Amino acid sequence: MLPEILLGRRILIVTGHYGSGKTELSVSLAMALSRNNETGFPRLALCDLDVVNPYFRSRERMDLLESVGVKVYGGIYGKGSAAEIPELSAAVRAPLDDKGCFTIIDAGGNDAGARILKQFSRYFTREERFTLAVVNASRPDTADVQMTLEQHEAIESALGFEIDGYANNTHMLMETTAATVEKGHRLCSELSAVTGRPLLWDCYPEKLVSAADVEKFSSATLPVGMYMRQTWLDK
């Protein structure tokens, strides 16, 4: 599951356009690594650094994640009623300081969300970080390669360093099919060809799409749960 290019890196920055599914991917990956930690580091953490337009917050799944050994960091109010206040706890530096911790950073959307990470830039050394751009080809602003590149260039400018690779997380919520994922695979493959940066995963909602169907066109798949979807939406 964990690509070879990530081995030895201890900070995975998950960024991308609004609505690309960064939080769902971050939580799903953290849950998967809790079951089979391939990172080479003894501890796992997830930092919720999304304080810009926080529609979904990974800290909302703090109880679930910490029950399987993933320490969650974010705001000073934890997962409480004030979780929407745009603030961060000083404790988010703890896993970044910990050389024995593999840390997933759930960043905010677009360049506005990426800009928050500037205050932590001293931790993001070339040797230790990997910056993953999540792409949803179903979103109007990332529907083709040129528009996606423009979004990513703005994110890179805000970060102060380059995106290292891509995750195809193309979906249509509950209407997602294997064909939906394949559309994103084609876009991300073209994006990879243009930039020379790898496509790490083709993500698929495991409750809706079978692994076998995705494996027909992808050799690197990542099942994604629906941890962030409220159950009342399906009623």
Summarised one tens digit per residue, pLDDT across range 86-108 is 557 778 999 999 999 999 999 98
SS3 76: coil
Which among 32, 78, 84 has a CA at the least distance from the CA of 54? 84
Average pLDDT, the chain: 90
User: Over the stretch 154-172, which tens digit does the pLDDT of each residue have?
Assistant: 999 999 999 999 999 999 9
Task: For residues 33-40, give the mean pLDDT.
Answer: 94
Query: Which string of DSSP letters, residue by residue, matches 122-188?
Result: GG--TTTEEEEEEE-TTSGGGSSHHHHHHHHHHHHHHHTS---EEEE---BTBT--HHHHHHHHHHH
* pLDDT of amino acid 76: 52
User: Over the stretch 42-97, which tens digit does the pLDDT of each residue have?
Assistant: 999 999 998 766 556 677 888 999 999 999 998 655 554 445 555 577 789 999 99
CB 209 within 8 A of CB 177: yes
Look at residue 227 and tell me whether its pLDDT is greater than 90: no
CA 146/CA 186 separation, integer angstroms: 14
* pLDDT of amino acid 230: 58
Look at residue 128 and tell me whether its pLDDT is greater than 90: yes
* pLDDT of amino acid 136: 98
Instruction: Delineate the domains of the chain, giving CATH numbers in brackets.
Output: 10-234 (3.40.50.300)
pTM value is: 0.92
What's 30's DSSP letter? H
User: Over the stretch 134-155, which tens digit does the pLDDT of each residue have?
Assistant: 999 999 999 999 999 999 999 9
CA dist list (Å): 77 to 43, 60, 94: 23, 11, 17
